[in-house]
C-alpha cells in the first residue's frame, strides 16, 4: 500500500496539472523547437502550456495506457505517419475549426480533420558538388539504377521518414513496383545505414558516399547553426529536387491532433490555431528552417535561396495507410 501511495504522489508531481486556462501537450518535437511559441501563446492568451516531450511511439503508448485518465489535450509529432497511427489507435478526435480549414492545405491535414500539419519539410536528394552533376539526377526511382552502386547514404529502415517516403511511392506506383525499387535501391548503399539525417550529409561530405537523403530542415539548421563542422559539411553538398517532371518531391509535416478525451479541448484548438498564425509560421521558418504550411507566409531567406520546387500533392494520410507495407518491403529488400 505504501508503495502504491508513493507512486501516486510521484505521478501527481510529474504529470501536468489540469485546470482552466491550461493546455497539456505531449510532444515528440524537441522543447527548443516549440517552447518559444508556447511562451508567446501564453503571453497573448493567458493559457498556460504544460509540456511533456518524448519519442513518438513512447508517447502513443503512454496515451494508450493512460486511456480515459490521460492529462494530455494535444499530441504533436514530427511525421504524418505517427499521426495516422494515433488515429488508428483511437487516441484522437475530429476538430471543427474554420481557421485550420482555411489556413492548412487539404493534403496536409487528415480528410476527417483528426490531425493537422503545422510545418512542412521536403526530403530531397543531396549530392556532393564535386562528384555529381545535377543533370545526372532525375527521380527517386532513378536511385535504384546500378549506376549509383556504392554511392548512396541514407538512414535505417526503422526511421519513420524513410518509411513515409516509401509509403508515398507505394501510393503512387503500387507494392510490386515499390518492392522492385527498394531491391535495387538497397544494392546501391555506400554503407550499412546508420545515424540520423545530419549524419548522412556529413558522410557524403567526408567522401563516404556521393548522394544522401535528408530532410531539408536538418540541412538548413546545419547551414544556419553555430557548429562549424556541421556548416562545413553542409556547404559541400547541394539540393536536387527529384520528380519535378511528374509527382513532385516527397514532403512531410510536423503536426498535431487533439486527444480523444481532452479536458481542455477548446484551449488545444486555440493553440493549434495560434501555431498557424502568420507570427508562428514566420518563427518556424526563421528559427527551424521549416516551410510554412500557410499560404502567403514566406520561407526564410536561406530556404528561398534553394529555389522553388514542385511538391508532391499526395494527401499525407496515405503515408500512414501504407506504412505497414513499406516496412515489409524494406525488410524483404534487406534494408537494415
pLDDT value, residue 7: 39
Give the global pTM: 0.90
Residue 79 has a pLDDT of: 92
All three cell numbers of 101: 480549414
Tell me: pLDDT of 18 over 80. Answer: no
pLDDT-derived band at 17 (thresholds 50, 70, 90) equals very low
Residues 176 and 304: their CA atoms lie apart, in Å, by 37
Q: For the chain, what are the domain ranges?
A: 2-120+253-296, 122-249+317-333
> What pLDDT is recorded for position 40?
95
Residue 331 is predicted with a pLDDT of: 98
| Alpha helices in 104-196, H assignment, sequence order | 160-173, 175-187
**Can you give the pLDDT at residue 20?**
54
Poorest-confidence range of 3-12, 122-131, 165-174, 325-334?
Answer: 3-12
Sheet with 116-122: list strands edge to edge: 48-53, 22-27, 74-77, 251-258, 116-122, 291-292
Residues 245-250 have a mean pLDDT of 97
Q: Does domain 2-120+253-296 have CATH number 3.30.1330.10?
A: no
Query: What are residue 49's phi and psi, to 5 degrees?
Result: -110, 120
pLDDT at 30: 83
pLDDT of residue 2 exceeding 70: no
Among 224, 239, 200, smallest CA distance to 289 is for 224
Q: Tens digits of per-residue pLDDT, 26-71?
A: 999 888 889 999 999 999 999 999 999 999 899 999 999 999 999 9
- Work out the pLDDT band at 329, boundaries 50, 70, 90: very high
Average pLDDT over residues 209-235: 96
Q: Shortest CA distance to 193 belongs to which of 182, 203, 207?
A: 203
β-sheet with 237-240: strand ranges across: 152-153, 211-213, 125-128, 237-240
Cβ atoms of 69 and 278 within 8 Å: the answer is no
- Tell me, which fold does domain 122-249+317-333 have in CATH? D-Maltodextrin-Binding Protein; domain 2 (3.40.190)
30-34, 268-272, 273-277: lowest mean pLDDT where? 30-34
User: Is the per-residue pLDDT at 3 higher than 70?
Assistant: no
**Each residue of 2-41: b (16+ CB within 10 Å) or e?**
eeeeeeeeeeeeebbeeeeebbbbbbbbeeebbeebbeeb
Q: Is 221 exposed, middle or buried (0-12, 13-18, 19+ CB in 10 A)?
A: buried
Task: State the average pLDDT over residues 108-112.
Answer: 96
Q: Do domains 2-120+253-296 and 122-249+317-333 have the same CATH topology?
A: yes
Question: Which of 297, 259, 275, 254 has its CA nearest to residue 100?
Answer: 275
Amino acid at each position: 500500500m505504501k508503495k502504491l501511495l508513493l507512486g501516486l504522489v510521484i505521478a501527481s508531481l510529474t504529470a501536468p496539472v489540469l485546470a482552466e486556462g491550461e493546455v497539456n501537450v505531449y510532444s515528440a518535437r524537441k522543447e527548443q523547437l516549440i517552447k518559444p511559441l508556447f511562451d508567446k501563446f501564453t503571453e497573448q492568451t493567458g493559457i498556460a502550456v504544460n509540456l511533456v516531450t518524448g519519442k513518438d511511439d513512447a508517447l502513443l503508448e503512454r496515451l494508450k495506457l493512460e486511456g480515459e485518465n490521460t492529462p494530455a489535450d494535444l499530441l504533436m509529432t514530427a511525421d504524418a505517419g505517427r499521426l495516422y497511427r494515433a488515429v488508428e489507435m483511437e487516441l484522437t478526435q475530429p476538430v471543427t475549426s474554420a481557421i485550420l480549414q482555411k489556413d492548412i492545405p487539404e493534403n496536409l491535414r487528415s480528410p476527417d480533420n483528426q490531425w493537422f500539419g503545422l510545418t512542412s519539410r521536403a526530403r530531397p536528394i543531396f549530392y556532393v558538388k564535386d562528384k555529381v552533376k545535377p543533370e545526372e539526377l532525375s527521380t527517386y526511382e532513378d536511385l535504384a539504377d546500378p549506376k549509383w552502386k556504392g554511392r548512396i547514404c541514407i538512414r535505417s529502415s526503422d526511421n519513420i521518414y524513410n518509411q513515409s517516403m516509401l509509403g508515398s511511392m507505394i501510393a503512387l506506383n503500387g507494392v510490386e513496383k515499390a518492392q522492385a525499387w527498394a531491391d535495387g535501391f538497397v544494392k546501391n548503399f555506400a554503407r550499412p545505414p546508420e545515424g540520423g539525417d545530419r549524419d548522412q550529409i556529413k558522410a557524403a561530405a567526408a567522401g563516404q558516399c556521393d548522394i544522401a537523403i535528408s530532410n531539408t530542415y536538418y540541412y538548413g539548421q546545419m547551414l544556419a547553426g553555430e557548429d562549424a563542422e556541421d556548416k562545413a559539411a553542409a556547404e559541400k553538398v547541394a539540393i536536387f529536387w527529384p520528380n519535378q517532371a511528374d509527382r513532385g518531391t516527397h514532403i512531410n509535416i510536423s503536426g498535431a491532433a487533439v486527444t480523444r478525451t481532452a479536458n481542455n479541448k477548446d484551449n488545444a484548438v486555440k493553440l493549434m490555431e495560434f501555431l498557424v498564425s502568420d507570427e508562428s509560421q514566420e518563427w518556424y521558418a526563421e528559427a527551424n528552417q521549416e516551410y510554412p504550411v500557410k499560404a502567403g507566409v514566406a520561407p526564410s531567406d536561406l530556404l528561398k535561396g534553394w529555389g522553388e520546387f514542385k511538391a508532391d500533392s499526395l494527401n499525407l494520410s496515405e503515408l500512414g495507410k501504407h506504412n505497414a507495407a513499406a516496412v515489409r518491403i524494406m525488410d524483404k529488400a534487406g534494408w537494415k
